[in-house]
Amino acid sequence: MASWARMTLIVVSAMCWASLISAQVIFVDPIEKDSSGPTPTFLWTGKDAKAVLIMIPGGDGHLGLTPERTDLGGFYGNTLKRLSDPSLTSGSLDVVVFDSPDQLAAGDVYPTSRTTPDHLSRIESVVRYYKDKFNKPVWLMGHSNGGVSVTEFWKYIHGTAKEDLIAGIVISSSRIGITFPDNTNIPVLFMHHLKDNCPKADASASENAYESLKSTDKSKVAFVWIKGGEADGGRICYSGYHMYYGAGEEAANAIDGFITN
């Protein structure tokens, strides 16, 4: 194929992808009147999505989203954006990235910043907003420290009428120390890179959490190893295998397969 023809094909493919997905920043008002302000979120809307995936980032949880932002790169673009694109996955998900307005301290042992009433209330506000906006099942995903946010939120709503707010959970490269309450009964996917060497996200701890939950959860529970990608030379807890560098397609397919099957 001539080079100009290949370039035309690439451009057309990119245009087709762009026509299927819209992206925008949305500020979600809190449900608690004493909250310190709205929560920024980034939304990729697919053409024929059947569910919503809300992702809580790791690190300090603060992306600094501004209204003019039109896309996200790195882990978000390479892994999550694919889930709204029917040419790359089933395209069955609208994807939301949650942005904490304030930095959430990681802590030496456990990120207790992610257990506070304000943080959990913000998650609830975002979940309720998108559940009402799209009238679709909502899945909650946490990556690294975000895994703590998700499990703490589940504890926060477990055993109450609020359980119906979410349809399932994805725990990705999770921070050590996550636990689920007894009598949890919700689909949960655990996902971890086989070569992840971030010391605060030890893979064996994720396996132990999986095994513990699997023994009691009557719903669908699975563990998926991500094996591709590479170390990119950056900080081990902020890049490389921990962030599925070069393995975004594999990670997206694992999430897509669990939620849609």
**Which tens digits make up the pLDDT trace of 48-62?**
899 999 999 999 999
Could you give the percent of the chain with pLDDT greater than 70? 91
Closest CA to 51 of 168, 163, 158, 208: 168
Q: Is the pLDDT of residue 8 over 70?
A: no
CATH topology of domain 21-260: Rossmann fold (3.40.50)
Pairing of strands 188-193, 168-172: parallel
Q: Is the pLDDT of residue 73 over 70?
A: yes
Pairing of strands 93-98, 39-45: antiparallel
Task: Please state the separation of Cα 249 from the chain's center in Å.
Answer: 15
Sequence ranges of the domains in the chain:
21-260
Q: Is the pLDDT of residue 9 over 80?
A: no
Q: What are phi and psi of 101, to 5 degrees?
A: -65, -25
Amino acid at 114: R
> How sure is the predictor about 34, in pLDDT bands with cuts at 50, 70 and 90?
low
